[in-house]
Structure 1
Amino acid sequence: MSNAWLIWLEFSLCAMLIGLAGTQLCRYANIIADKTGLSGSWIGLILLATVTSLPELITGISALTLANVPNIAVGSLLGSCIFNLVILVVLDYLVRGESLYRRASPSHILSAGFGVILIGFVGLNVLLVDKASFNIAHIGIYTPAIVLFYIVAMRALYIHERARVKEFVEKVTDRYPNMTLHQAYRRYLLSALVVIATGIYLPFVGTQLAEVMGWHNTFVGTLFIAGITSLPELAVSIAAFRMGALDMAIANLLGSNLFNILILALEDIIYLSGPLITYTSPLHAFSALSAVIMSGIVIVGLVYRPSTRLFISIGWVSLSLFTLYLLNTYVFFLHGGE
């Protein structure tokens, strides 16, 4: 029992470090982008998107190359997609007066739609991996398809959202007029090192947690690791909301889901044993399907723009998202070891 408490303590420490360092990482990335003249360009946006997903990226690489637990690598990414959509429930609770989806711009339908396609494509490949598998060397044929479609999606979103993204980045970076570029670089590097070190160690803690609790790596990766690596998205989204940038908070979450699928393609490239999906549990298809349905619910909310709220604080869209999250958790708890 003492060993279990020690592992839970290590797990909690990892969560705290990634949550704090990941949030600071995003902050200093904004400052660097502004002071180097990148804030209004596509380069600056890519820098920020990469930084917010650094915990997922580092944890996945460590899970595959050092810990050799592919179920944690894939589960943390798909689980993070679900967790990001649950953060919308938190934002809906924080919005007062009317529904989140009534205030949000309908333009988010585009990124949510791309998310449905990319996540659904991964789920389809998980289901078909034993029935129709086409490989290129050690990677699956799905990897170049994901990379190509991600580039198309980012180009379309950038053209569609250029004006508002530029306005938001300028608003964020204006909050830090007293920090020099040298200070920003130094603190950015320090925060990145903390995230990298914690991300490398996290899969090992997850494996120990699975062993001591009698759980499967699929369950731990999809629920616990995914929750930890999504903490920066949670903090950044709440910070954006408090600044009055609700649309950027939503865009951050839906955009992170797209980048998570790109990370899965990158992990497939570095995993030399063969196509990554063939070494993981077919239960990941359920996570992908849950994320697709949740993204569809978000699209319905953005189109329908409901004005009524249930239980005073949240609407039926958020209630549906949270219910699906609980269902996904329950299914993985029951069948995560199969």
Structure 2
Amino acid sequence: MVFLFCVLVIGIAGTRITRVVDQLADRTGIGEAAAGAVLLGGSTSIGGSVLSVTAAWNGHPELAVSNALGGIAVQTFFLAVADMIYRRANLEHAAASAPNMMQNGLLILLLSVILMTPLLPDVTIWGIHPVTPLLFITYVYGIYLVQGARNMPMWAPTKTRETREDTPDDTTRMPSPARLWGEFTVLLVVLGFAGWTLEPSATVIAAQTGLTQTIVGVLLTAVSTSIPELVTSIAAVRRGALTLAVSGIIGGNAFDTLFTAASDVAYLGGSIYHTMTDATLFWVCLTLVMSAVLMMGLIRRERSGPGRIGLESVLILLLYLGGVWLLLSQL
């Protein structure tokens, strides 16, 4: 009951925060791509980040890492679901932008570093692996490059009849910036508290059902804490904020890689990267494949594929469902 209640709270607060971020993007002038990457991606991921850090602090590294990395896979899956909702054209075609591709490149880079770290020496400085600060620095610099790709783009995608550009709405009819920031902060706190409450319930479920913490992390906590990404992407598509929908997912994925870094800081048993199981490493590899497929789709920009969605969306759906099947087949 606690688990389901937290999921409900995350879903409601996550839906509400989409409208706030969309208006903040216009009010502040930073654009939907940057707002989706930093504000929407970070805020909708706060529940998952709190859960991972809490799990690591309580000595459950497998749950912490599988929740963080499993969330990236399911959120990429949700982007394919959003493509199914937008029937006019392939979502990646309509929301083509340099910042979105830059964000996806950043995600692939961060995931590759995480995948490589267990092969490095198991050394820590004050209990923290040297790769952890590197992940934070890389993310901050990557977001700087994303903003630069918006402000001073070196190339632009070909505009077609289906392309939807990031055009600001009428800000005179929006609430004041102070009110928007206040509402954003309240929703952020609600999402964080729900994630903190979700961790002990997930641990109990794993213990009483006999499921591994990897399965619980990938299929229960990762999916439940990623519900805001699903509802916000669908809400953004229906609002016509296509760039926000895509950047919210991809930006949230890049932010989610920092769950692992933050969990390493919280974990008292040494390097959390060297506790990663084969099942967790498999999900890192699977997520890299899904992200590469998405990158190729963003570059190719197919207007309409099988079932009136992009071919990359079909492949992402099959990859994720195949990964779930393999994970469950181990029971």
Q: TM tier, shorter chain?
A: 0.7 to 0.9
Match in the other structure for 1:101: 92
Structure 2 residues without counterparts, runs of 5 or longer: 154-164
Select between 83-92 and 180-189 the one with higher mean Cα deviation. 180-189
- Check if 1:159 corresponds to 2:155: no
Following TM superposition, by how much is the alpha carbon of 1:55 offset from its aligned partner in structure 2, in angstroms?
1.0
TM-fit CA distance, 1:163: 7.9
Aligned residues: 317
Shift of 1:139: 1.1
Q: Report the Cα offset of residue 153 of structure 1.
A: 1.0
**Do the aligned residues in 1 keep the contact of 2:37 with 2:251 (CA within 8 Å)?**
no
Alignment of 1:1-338 (within 5 A): 9-28=1-20, 38-40=28-30, 46-65=38-57, 67-107=58-98, 108-126=100-118, 128=119, 132-162=121-151, 168=166, 170-171=168-169, 174=171, 177=174, 179=175, 184=180, 187-310=183-306, 312-335=307-330
Contact 1:92-1:100 within 8 A present in 2 as well: yes
Say if 1:148 and 1:188 are closer, same or farther in 2 by CA, change over 3 A: closer
How far off is 1:18 after superposition?
0.8
Separation of aligned partners in 1, 2:140 and 2:313? 30
Residues 102 and 190 (structure 1), Cα distance of their counterparts in 2 relative to 1, 3 Å cut: closer
Distance 1:320 1:190, change over 3 A: same
Determine if contact 1:82/1:325 at 8 Å carries over to the other structure.
Answer: yes
Instruction: Tell me if the contact between 1:30 and 1:169 (Cα under 8 Å) persists in the aligned partners.
Output: no
Letter of the structure 2 residue corresponding to residue 328 of structure 1: G
Tell me by how many angstroms 1:69 deviates: 1.6
When normalised by structure 2's length, the TM-score is 0.84
Structure 1 residues 34 and 94, CA gap change in structure 2 (3 angstroms): closer
RMSD of aligned C-alpha atoms? 2.9
Give the residue type in structure 1 aligned to 2:68. L
TM-score, normalised relative to structure 1: 0.82
Contact 2:236 2:245 in 1 (8 A): yes
The change in CA–CA distance for 1:77 and 1:176 in structure 2 (over 3 A counts) is farther
Whole-angstrom CA distance in 1 between matches of 2:190 and 2:196: 10
Deviation at 1:230, TM superposition (A): 1.1
Q: Is the 8 A contact 1:101 1:305 kept in 2?
A: yes
Identity of aligned residues (%): 26
The alpha-carbon deviation at position 295 of structure 1 amounts to 0.8
